[in-house]
Chain A
Amino acid sequence: AQSVTQPDIHITVSEGASLELRCNYSYGATPYLFWYVQSPGQGLQLLLKYFSGDTLVQGIKGFEAEFKRSQSSFNLRKPSVHWSDAAEYFCAVGPLYNTDKLIFGTGTRLQVFP
């Protein structure tokens, strides 16, 4: 079955610290991978996407993610977290070359302390 697992429900970091949010997926074919961010009361904003090529992808707001096929993972990273990064982060997977029916993980809530 197709699924996305985000093992960390809630992560707390200090401002300026590095961040890594984990994402593992189960998918029958080569997937199209995304990270979205959701601030309270708002919709989802696309941070970055991967569908082919370099396995390290750069996104907006200083985020990057690395696709590791052997580990079925697509972890999100940021070298230095800002207080404004506090939000809910969702990993999603979809069929390659077809953005129908995205499957989302349950999300990781990031809290940032000053």
Chain B
Amino acid sequence: DAGVTQSPTHLIKTRGQQVTLRCSPKSGHDTVSWYQQALGQGPQFIFQYYEEEERQRGNFPDRFSGHQFPNYSSELNVNALLLGDSALYLCASSQGQGNQPQHFGDGTRLSIL
């Protein structure tokens, strides 16, 4: 039973560029959430997708956008990259709405030069 998978594992970009990160949820899960984890910090909620729509959003600028596909996989897009966007980006999946815990992938390490 495959868990949450994310690609790529590492990525290096320069300021001003754009990046797309990808996530495939755990089998049977239909809800995908994205988190940003800066070095030495806990994860910060970016947004959540359910039924191909953004359901809830954290305190992140519009440079951060996402998409969910019919197969429940998801992408996180970040435009106009800043040095402060360097972080581990975690994808989490869960089943529907309710008290089901989120399962996390291993993340994508994004470094901005």
Contacts A43-B4, A90-B43, A105-B42 known; A99 to B105 CB distance under 8 Å? no
Q: Is residue B15 contacting chain A, with contact meaning CB distance below 8 A?
A: no
Q: Are A90 and B42 neighbours in the complex by a CB distance under 8 Å?
A: yes
A96 interface hit (Cβ, 8 Å):
yes
Chain A residues, Cβ within 8 Å of B94 = 99
Q: What chain B residues lie within 8 Å of A96 (beta carbons)?
A: 99
Cβ B48 vs Cβ A44 within 8 A = no
* Contacts known (A43-B4, A44-B90, A104-B42); A98 close to B104, Cβ less than 8 A: no
Question: Inside 8 A of B90's CB, which chain A residues have their CB?
Answer: 43-44
Secondary structure type dominating chain B contacts:
loop
The count of chain A contact residues (Cβ–Cβ below 8 Å) is 26
Cβ contact of A36, chosen from B40, B100, B104, cutoff 8 A? B104
Please judge, given known A-B contacts A101-B48, A106-B40, whether A34 and B56 are in contact too, CB under 8 Å.
Answer: no
Q: Is B71 an interface residue (CB 8 A)?
A: no
Q: From known contacts A51-B99, A106-B40, infer whether A100 and B106 are also in contact, taking CB-CB under 8 Å.
A: no
Q: Total number of A-B contacts with CB less than 8 angstroms?
A: 64
Q: How many residues does chain B have at the interface if contact means C-beta atoms less than 8 Å apart?
A: 27
Complex contact B101–A46 (CB within 8 A): yes
Residues of A within 8 A of B (CB): 4, 32, 34, 36, 41-46, 49, 51, 90, 92, 96-107
User: B25 within 8 Å of A by Cβ?
Assistant: no
B104: contacting residue among A43, A49, A103, CB under 8 A: A43
Q: Does the CB pair A107–B42 fall under 8 Å? A: yes
B66 at the interface (CB under 8 A from A): no
**Complex: A103 Cα to B92 Cα, angstroms:** 13
